Amino acid sequence: MTSYWLAQAVGAMAFLVGITVFFHRDDRKFKLQLSLYSAIIGIHFFLMGANAAGASALLNAGRTVIATRTHNLFVMFSFIILTLVFGLSGLKHAVELLPIIGTLISTWALFRTSGLTTRCVIWCATLYWVIHNVWLGSIGGSLIEGTFLILNGYNIIRFWRMQKRGLDPFRAETQSH
């Protein structure tokens, strides 16, 4: 197997892990699965030679796990600085700024927002990743980010409709025995 196809296989694995991320209504589960996806897609990007995107994705993985435990501004700004340092240092083409911008936007969202607002901001950040992944020729990356746009968009509309009916789609469900 050539390194190109190995990279594409890792991208396909990321696709499989990421496909159900946005169906989670529980913010913690949503963030943990998003983190696992980010780690796998980061490896994919490094294998594709897209070091800026790889660095951004791996930072996303760590950042997302940490965002389940704290919303501290110092921690958020630390990840923003790390994203700029590692992302910009691996930059080869101007289009590689897009995943860095997407990472910065989603970092802010994960530390400063919750529920529907988080999903809306991440939907916008996903647009940057889609453009980058198509440019890179990442089959798995393009499929997953395009799917994220569709699934997250669908769920944003669904959750918004629930809220309009007076339901809180992000309230923790309790089981009665």
Q: Does 7 map to a domain?
A: yes
Q: Does 33 map to a domain?
A: yes
Calculate the average pLDDT of the chain.
87
Q: Does 82 map to a domain?
A: yes
Q: List, for residues 13-41, the tens digit of each pLDDT value.
A: 888 888 877 677 777 888 888 899 999 99
> How many domains is the chain partitioned into structurally?
1
Q: Does 89 map to a domain?
A: yes
The answer on pLDDT for 42 being more than 90 is: yes
Q: Does 170 map to a domain?
A: no
**Least confident stretch, 87-91, 94-98, 135-139:** 87-91
- Parent domain of 19: 3-164
Q: Does 28 map to a domain?
A: yes
Q: Does 23 map to a domain?
A: yes
**Confidence at residue 172, expressed as pLDDT on a 0 to 100 scale:** 61
Q: List, for residues 114-155, the tens digit of each pLDDT value.
A: 889 999 999 999 999 899 989 988 887 788 889 989 988 998
pLDDT band at 104 (very low <50, low <70, confident <90, very high): very high
Burial of 175 (0-12, 13-18, 19+ CB in 10 A): exposed
Residue type, 69: R
**Confidence at residue 29, expressed as pLDDT on a 0 to 100 scale:** 84
Q: Does 74 map to a domain?
A: yes
Cα 16 to Cα 164: distance, rounded to the nearest angstrom: 32
Q: Which residues contact 172 (CB under 8 A, 6 or more apart)?
A: 26
